């Protein structure tokens, strides 16, 4: 299997970018990962830190990693179904062990499970256009489900968004204590995560993987287009991305990270 050093480099940047975001979850309560005002108030420096991270990193590196994961699956098809299934099954096993015994924010299990579902589609969909359109459709379905969940959810903030003093004390207790208490809490978190994967996040993840595979199949990710093409695409896509991201950042800041809008 041919390796593309540029893709390896970008994949490494994506993993480091995910780590940059996960550091918040390592050092602060889990609510701080998405809600910078998890204490009910926020300093100006924390607000600006959130704004920069939300604009430059939040969801960007996870999306990039998912695209490259799908591209990697496409590159591995010549190795055969048995090799790919064994590799993804091992990823699921390692992800499960990590999620239960090390850290509740593991993503390996999600990627392994969705990978087992979609890699067969990569073989059976002959058309690049159909693969790209299917990926985009699945991603949009995931976005639509997320909007529906937001519309029907209670306007009152959940404890995972705005935890009370007792919640914070208990989270600190089991994370520092470890042992069976920590495993039970991680198991609860894992069950919620799997439900979210099946009902909403899995659609988005599968869509991104298919899009990444389609971009690899067309040669777009392997550098087979002109430099001018990539520069033009960067200007257009980054401009569209900022037009979506910046109003969202300003809106959340202006609304004080109210749960009904930001959660």
Q: 77: closest CA among 134, 103, 115? A: 115
What is the tally of structural domains in the chain? 1
**Domain boundaries, position 26:** 5-262
Q: For the segment 15-41, what is each residue's pLDDT rounded down to a tens digit?
A: 999 888 888 888 888 888 889 998 888
- The pTM (predicted TM-score) of the whole model is 0.89
Q: At 95, is the pLDDT very low, low, confident or very high (cuts 50, 70, 90)? A: very high
Determine the pLDDT at residue 97. 94
Cα–Cα distance for residue pair 184/101, rounded to 1 Å: 10
Point out the least confidently predicted range of 38-42, 44-48, 197-201, 224-228.
38-42
Q: For the segment 107-127, what is each residue's pLDDT rounded down to a tens digit?
A: 899 999 999 999 888 888 878
Mean per-residue pLDDT for 120-141? 90
Cα–Cα distance for residue pair 3/145, rounded to 1 Å: 36
Q: At 2, is the pLDDT very low, low, confident or very high (cuts 50, 70, 90)? A: low
Q: 257: closest CA among 38, 79, 13, 95? A: 38
């Amino acid at each position: 299997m041919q390796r593309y050093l540029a893709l390896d480099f970008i994949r490494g940047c994506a993993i480091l970018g995910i780590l940059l975001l996960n550091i918040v979850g390592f050092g602060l309560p889990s609510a701080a990962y998405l809600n910078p005002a998890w204490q009910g108030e926020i300093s100006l420096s924390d607000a600006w830190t959130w704004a920069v991270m939300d604009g430059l990193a939040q969801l960007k590196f996870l999306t990039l990693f998912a695209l490259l994961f799908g591209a990697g699956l496409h590159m591995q098809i010549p190795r055969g179904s048995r090799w790919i299934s064994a590799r993804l099954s091992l990823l699921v096993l390692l992800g499960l062990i990590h999620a239960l015994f090390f850290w509740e924010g593991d993503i390996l299990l999600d990627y392994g499970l969705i990978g087992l579902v979609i890699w067969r589609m990569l073989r059976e969909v002959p058309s690049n256009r159909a693969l790209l359109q299917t990926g985009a459709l699945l991603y949009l379905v995931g976005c639509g489900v997320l909007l529906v969940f937001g519309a029907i959810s209670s306007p009152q903030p959940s404890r995972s968004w705005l935890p009370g003093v007792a919640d914070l004390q208990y989270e600190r207790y089991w994370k520092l204590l470890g042992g069976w208490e920590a495993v039970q809490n991680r198991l609860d978190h894992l069950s919620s995560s799997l439900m979210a994967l099946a009902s909403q996040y899995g659609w988005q993840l599968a869509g991104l993987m298919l899009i990444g595979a389609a971009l690899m199949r067309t040669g777009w990710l392997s550098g087979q287009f002109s430099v001018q093409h990539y520069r033009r695409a960067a200007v257009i896509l980054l401009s569209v991305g900022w037009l979506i991201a910046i109003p969202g950042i300003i809106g959340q800041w202006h609304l004080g990270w109210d749960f009904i809008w930001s959660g």
